[in-house]
């Protein structure tokens, strides 16, 4: 099989667009690290430092989000395939969970704990 010129152009253009999207999405954040929960009724922000269970209402029913030990996961969902539950726990800024059928989105936003410069010496 031989690649043609436009194959390479298209692959490079796609890779460039993806790199740009990644830098825009995962660039340095600001503020404390929080779990951001979006549902049909609105958006809620919770600190990762306090353990809790949150029920987020969607068109199919309630999605239960567990915040525990500075990580977040979906533990119950009325969606058919449960992909959102199988995705497991997230704990770093930029990570996300989504339930498309129940229209629930969970992400972690804020400054990375291991990012930035703590000190410098000359």
Partner 1 sequence: MAASTHPHTEARRRTYADITALLGAFCFFLSALEYMVPKPLPFMRLGIANLPILLAADLLPLPWYLALALVKVFGMSVISGSLFSYVALFSLAGTLTAALAMRLARKAFGRLISAVGVSILGAVLSNAVQMAIARLIVFGDAVRLVAPPFLAAGLATGALLGVFAEAFAGKSAWYARATRELHG
Under the criterion CB under 8 A, does residue 9 sit at the interface with partner 1? yes
- Binder of partner 1 out of 62, 70, 94, 111 (CB under 8 A): 94
Under the criterion CB under 8 A, does residue 45 sit at the interface with partner 1? no
Residues 37-68 as b/e (b if ≥16 CB within 10 A, e otherwise) read bebeeeeeeeebeeeeebebebeeebbbbbbe
Q: Strand 71-76 relative to strand 34-39: parallel, antiparallel, unpaired?
A: unpaired
Q: How far is CA 66 from the centre of its chain?
A: 14
DSSP notation for 42-77: EEEEEETTS-EEEEEEETTEEEEEEEETTEEEEEE-
Least CB distance from residue 68 to partner 1, whole Å? Answer: 21
User: Which residue, 30 or 120, is less far from partner 1 as judged by CB?
Assistant: 30
Alpha-carbon gap, residue 104 to 27, rounded angstroms: 24
| Per-position x/- string for 57-86, each x denoting binding to partner 1 as judged by CB under 8 A, each - no binding | -----------------------xx-xx-x
- Binder of partner 1 out of 15, 45, 75, 113 (CB under 8 A): 15
Under the criterion CB under 8 A, does residue 101 sit at the interface with partner 1? yes
Q: Which residues bind partner 1 (CB under 8 A)?
A: 1-11, 14-15, 17-18, 21-22, 24-26, 36, 38, 80-81, 83-84, 86-87, 94-101, 103, 105, 107
């Amino acid at each position: 099989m031989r690649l043609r010129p436009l194959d390479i152009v298209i692959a490079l253009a796609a890779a460039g667009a993806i790199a740009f999207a990644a830098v825009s999405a995962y660039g340095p954040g600001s503020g404390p690290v929080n779990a951001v929960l979006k549902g049909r009724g609105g958006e809620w922000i919770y600190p990762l430092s306090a353990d809790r269970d949150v029920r987020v209402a969607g068109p199919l029913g309630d999605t239960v989000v567990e915040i525990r030990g500075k990580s977040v996961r979906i533990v119950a969902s009325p969606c058919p395939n449960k992909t959102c539950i199988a995705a497991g726990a997230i704990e770093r800024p930029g990570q996300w969970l989504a339930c498309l059928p129940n229209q629930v989105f969970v992400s972690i936003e804020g400054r990375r704990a291991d990012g930035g410069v703590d000190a410098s010496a000359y």
